[in-house]
Structure 1
């Protein structure tokens, strides 16, 4: 929570350990996610919508993650009509931003209605609708929005993510500051990956944050994969994180393979297009080479091969503190279809209520929404955070990773 900036960098404060412990206690009391929503196939679509809107409004990552989590919890308890999900998603975003951001950063109603995306959907909201929906959401959550997410832990764990004694491909790090910059970018990439699929809700938020750091160290080929400092700070061993790390690396691998496949697909007038691209962006080839270098191959990482047993089943000594939020069989059953590139598009086309009118929520009180949705939404939110999300944002030299 950001109140006049006092919590902006709490992980650097003398009370950081106490704040972290308080967050860990709170995450033990989080509501269980059951994945019972009839609209669960639409979940990825609206998670991407919230991510896009939060980026457009320049909201902090804690507000973005809290908004998605609020939407997940609400959808898990109510059968919501498709068109009302837009109002609910925006209400979750407003509540999260009011809780996590400064007042002047909270999106205004006029700002939301003026978005090009909103105009293309012909979606018009009014103040009364949002107030009533916010009240319904607050009553659903028991007026408690202090719900820790992985974004609340990530900065604290990043504070010890890279140390002086770490090695890159067996060599000492050339620049600790540059390595930390890479670590920040990769960890935030994996943090966004964790928003894309509800399977990650089977892990504790602190587990996800720690797994983001571990997956980043693997991608950057920094050894050891999990240090004693990270173990002491997070309270997690490698065995506690291996399964979540594997899911993240699978998503990372799929992103890179999808990007490479798109680059290699045959195009009309390929020669002319390549000539134009080379003249406009001569450094594009180096980005592709860099992405292929980071492609995840499980056998090439000793950290994973040494714990191959934990990749299929996570062994936890204290399930009350470190265990998944949902049973293990739920997680295993959702791994086959994880991060399917066609999931969002097929869900939108097959959803039976796209052409129907508004339906009231399954709540005790009546709820009317003045929402105008004249055209079918364009399916432009099938967002994947591919290798380009990381490689295209490097604005500094990386000599320590070029050996």
Structure 2
């Protein structure tokens, strides 16, 4: 998303955060009305597996799944086409979020074991066609913030020395930050598997 590494630590962190929040408010709505909604978990997992294989950043992985969700929401797609769509979403997201040298290459994608098990061979022409269709669907706008774009900023301000635990100062700030980061990363990955629902109860 054209953001410098560790932007949340820089002087412009507040401005960048506000820009992300502004874009988040205007995100396309996800209705969960795809005829293939029951396959969503499988393809989200496929994106996560391939993303981990190439060690792509969390923002690329989350953007890819979000693009997949929106695209599935709008079209009735065959299962075979969904494989192409999912991988094209990941390629587009990685091109948007990663350095060029980290974007998966066609040859290495086709060499993955999961590709042969799916009896799927990607072609340059097929990928370009699908990427173009995706870009046209999203009106060439991939600036779509996800939870992964905010997590580091929130973690940077989530814990400070003045915080208390059971009314007492924290014994070890570093350990608290470590656990906070661990669980935030866990829930961030869990959120890829489906839309999390949070319920607030007031008494």
Shorter chain as denominator, the TM-score bin is over 0.9
In 2: Cα distance, 1:143 partner to 1:109 partner: 22
Q: Which residue of 1 aligns with 2:148?
A: 151
What per-residue deviation string (whole Å, max 9, x for no partner) do you get for residues 208-233 of structure 1? xxxxxxxxxxxxxxxxxxxxxxxxxx
Query: Of residues 13, 17, 41 in structure 1, which corresponds to 2:14?
Result: 17
Are 2:56 and 1:54 equivalent residues in the alignment?
A: no
What's the offset of the Cα at 1:65? 0.2
SS at match of 2:139: coil
1:309 corresponds to 2:202? yes
CA distance, structure 2, for counterparts of residue 35 and residue 49 of structure 1: 19
Q: Distance in 2 between matches of 1:165 and 1:16?
A: 22
Find the partner of 1:38 among 31, 35, 38: 35
Q: CA deviation at 1:161?
A: 1.0
Alignment counterpart, residue 72 of structure 2, candidates 72, 75, 82? 75
- Note the 1:345-364 alignment, pairs <5 A: none
Q: Deviations over 1:127-177 (max 9, x none)?
A: 110000000000000000000111111111111111112233444322211
Counterpart in 2 of 1:99?
A: 96
- Give the 3-state SS of the residue equivalent to 2:27 in structure 1: coil
CA distance in structure 2 between the partners assigned to 1:82 and 1:72 by the alignment: 14
Give per-residue Cα distances to partners, 1:223-272, cap 9 Å, x unaligned. xxxxxxxxxxxxxxxxxxxx62x5xxxxxxxxxxxxxxxxxxxxxxxxxx
Deviation sequence 1:334-374 (CA, Å, 0-9, x none): xxxxxxxxxxxxxxxxxxxxxxxxxxxxxxxxxxxxxxxxx
Corresponding position: 1:125 with 2:18: no
Counterparts of 2:125 and 2:201 in 1: how far apart (Å)? 54
Query: How far apart, CA to CA, are the structure 1 residues paired with 2:165 and 2:83?
Result: 46
Instruction: Give the match for residue 109 of structure 1.
Output: 106
CA distance in 1, matches of 2:174, 2:202: 35
Root-mean-square deviation (CA, aligned residues, Å) is 1.5
Whole-angstrom CA distance in 1 between matches of 2:101 and 2:128: 18
Counterparts of 1:308 and 1:62 in 2: how far apart (Å)? 31
Q: Deviations along 1:86-107, whole A, 9 cap, x unmatched?
A: 0000000000000000000000
Matched, 1:135 2:126: no
d(CA) in 1 for partners of 2:76 and 2:166? Answer: 51
Count how many residue pairs are aligned between Structure 1 and Structure 2: 203
CA distance in 2, matches of 1:152, 1:33: 18
Structure 2 residue aligned with 1:340: none
CA–CA separation in structure 1 for the residues paired with 2:142 and 2:180: 29
What TM-score does the superposition give when structure 2 sets the normalisation length?
A: 0.95
In 2: Cα distance, 1:30 partner to 1:92 partner: 17
Q: Distance in 2 between matches of 1:15 and 1:91?
A: 32
| Rounded Cα–Cα distance in structure 2 between residues aligned with 1:97 and 1:187 | 22
CA distance in 1, matches of 2:184, 2:20: 20
Larger CA Rg, structure 1 vs 2? 1
